[in-house]
Copies of this chain bind each other. A is one copy, B any other.
Amino acid sequence: MAKKNAFYAQSGGVTSVINASACGVIETARKHKDKIGKVYAGRNGIIGALTEDLIDTSKDSAKSIAALRSTPAGGFGSCRFKLKSLEQNLREYERLIEVFKAHNIGYFFYNGGGDSADTCFKVSQISEKMGYPVQAIHVPKTVDNDLPITDCCPGFGSVAKYVAVSVREASFDVASMCKTSTKVFVVEVMGRHAGWIAAAGGLASDKGCELPIVILFPEIEFDQKKFIAKVDAMVKKHGYCSVVVSEGCHYPDGKFLAEQGTRDAFGHAQLGGAAPVVANMVKEALGYKFHWAVADYLQRSARHIASKTDVDQAYALGKAAVELALKGQNAVMPTVERLSDKPYRWKVGVAQLSKVANVEKFMPRNFITPDGFGITEKCRTYLSPLIKGEDYPIFKDGLPQYVQLKNVAVAKKLKEFKI
């Protein structure tokens, strides 16, 4: 078999450890130069492949590639671009194969969530049909932790740690102010469909450090009356409480809390934020002084407080993807398999992409307390190891040193392609 090049791309919303997976892919490929030629990366994800905008990762030094391990976000750029079904848009799949063929690419490593697992699976199918077989391996990534089969997703543990740490810290703040000032603090976190990230807020309170926390999950239909009663009970008992609201929290009719139909003075739709809506509700009903925060990108880019478990798994799955390719595997995804909770032990497993694509994993109901506002011991047992360990980046003059790659373009060989 002639030596083939590899293609790697980042897909969808980035995380603080997706570059650790990139680092795992590239460093491992570099160790197998007998079998894998160059690693080309898609500039801005799969769009880079479609437009033949490839990055020659060999132009970046071993030191720069190693630094990816502790650099947040997508070092090669990512994109939100979902390839349509084969029937609807065969043209795009064919273009991918053409580009792969033109650049002698035999390995396709796609680092993303559910949509990209689906794309990855289709690429492996179509490439075979077109007589240019490409080994397509998916590297899981998503802060939402909603991929099936794998015990957890790289990217999630670090955002979970950020949320748990931040909720603990802010709760200490509110606790010390509540006598005369803020009694309710609301923080909004990501997770439009699944409440994994919101659940991590529950870790802020534990046996050694009990704190009053109320969680609003997307899995639990919002009941304003029950919520207000819960907050009031917490404030009456503890003097204050912290509320963690998932951006996906919604009413029984499916309407998100953030969509309040609010209008500004000019009649423009007011921009959302579930946190201010919830905080306002508390104020109206109970009169308590509040503060609110929206973590947004800060939570998923906070590499400075990444979970060591998460960084290790992100790297390991990038490495495993290349090793699976070298073993001749195709249409698979390396996974995290949990071997035990205490002590936490895990190993790399393998899932068939046909079983991964387009399946979402929600929080089991028994991870949420019966009243719908907290996490159970079962949930804690699951989450706790995922935030374990610190993996601080190098700091210089008070700031984390993150790498900005050279990202040298590969010369184009094909005609332009409009997407």
| Interface, chain A (partner B; CB < 8 A) | 10, 13-14, 16, 44-45, 47, 71-81, 161, 164-166, 168-170, 172-177, 179-182, 185, 187, 203-204, 206, 208-209, 260-265, 268, 270-271, 273, 275-276, 279-280, 284, 291-298, 300-305, 307, 309, 384, 386-390, 392, 395-402, 404
Q: Tell me if B388 and A169 are in contact (CB < 8 A).
A: no
**Do A168 and B293 contact each other (CB < 8 Å), given the known contacts A173-B14, A300-B173, A384-B397?**
no
11 more A-B residue pairs beyond the given contacts A74-B177, A75-B176, with a C-beta to C-beta distance below 8 A: A44-B179, A45-B180, A73-B172, A79-B181, A262-B262, A268-B284, A271-B276, A271-B279, A291-B296, A304-B305, A387-B398
Tell me the nearest residue of chain B to A205, going by C-beta. Answer: B399
Cα A271 to Cα B404 with chains together (Å): 38
Cα A301 to Cα B180 with chains together (Å): 18
Q: Tell me if B390 and A395 are in contact (CB < 8 A).
A: yes
Q: Which residues of B contact A208 (CB under 8 A)?
A: 396, 401
Q: Tell me if B297 and A294 are in contact (CB < 8 A).
A: no
Of listed A176, A204, A387, A402, residue having the most chain B CB within 10 A: A176
Tell me the nearest residue of chain B to A260, going by C-beta. Answer: B264
Tell me the nearest residue of chain B to A13, going by C-beta. Answer: B177
Cβ of A112 to closest chain B Cβ, rounded Å? 13
Q: Which residues of B contact A297 (CB under 8 A)?
A: 170, 173-174, 182, 185, 291, 293
Cβ of A228 to closest chain B Cβ, rounded Å? 16
**Number of copies of this kind of chain in the complex:** 2
Q: Tell me if A264 and B270 are in contact (CB < 8 A).
A: yes
Q: Which of B73, B264, B302, B397 contacts A262 (CB 8 A)?
A: B264
